[in-house]
Amino acid sequence: MSPIVSIIMGSTSDLPVMEKAAQLLNDLHVPFEMNALSAHRTPEAVEEFAKGARKRGIKVIIAAAGMAAALPGVIAANTTLPVIGVPIKGSVLDGVDALYSIIQMPPGIPVATVAINGAMNAAILAVQMLTLSDKELAEAFTAYKEGLKKKIVKANEDLKEVKYEYKTN
């Protein structure tokens, strides 16, 4: 099956973060592709990717970048598809620099942005967009959300069984 979501990262060093998005998409049987492209080192390839994504069947792009975080914005400037930005935690400013770079897009070039290293939420947002036109995926996603609720209910029940003693000095 052809990919409908594209996960793009500025460097393969972002892979440990972005694997969480890939895993969720895989679990929900959403076909996706994953590539490393740099807005600064391979600008022509980024432009070509963005301009051709819709023709290739891509419906949502998840773009991760750290530091200057130009990748999501450059992709958004070259496509009409929704772009979700994932700021990656860097070594100097802990990803705040990437967060600010991604959320401060000019009018007409929006990039939906999730938390620093928030790849899982980026995948969830992509799936929510796709469920608008895919009933089967909507049902699978509803089951996923119910599973999240059940995990919390069970965790709360498990906590009630644990006996804690409060000690004073």
Q: What are the extents of the domains in the chain?
A: 5-134
14 annotated to a ligand binding site: yes
Higher pLDDT, 156 or 85: 85
Q: What is the reported pLDDT for 161?
A: 84
13 annotated to a ligand binding site: no
Residues 41-92: pLDDT tens digits? Answer: 999 999 999 999 999 999 999 999 998 889 999 999 999 999 999 999 987 8
Q: What is the reported pLDDT for 32?
A: 98
Q: What is the reported pLDDT for 41?
A: 94
Query: Is 0.85 surpassed by the pTM of this model?
Result: yes
101 annotated to a ligand binding site: no
Q: What is the reported pLDDT for 165?
A: 74
Residue 146 vs residues 114, 133, 141, 151, 155: alpha-carbon distances, Å: 22, 20, 9, 9, 14
Higher pLDDT, 117 or 165: 117
Fold entry, domain 5-134: Rossmann fold (3.40.50)
| pLDDT above 80 for 164 | no
Higher pLDDT, 99 or 167: 99
Residues 85-135: pLDDT tens digits? Answer: 999 998 789 999 999 999 999 999 999 999 999 999 999 999 999 999 999
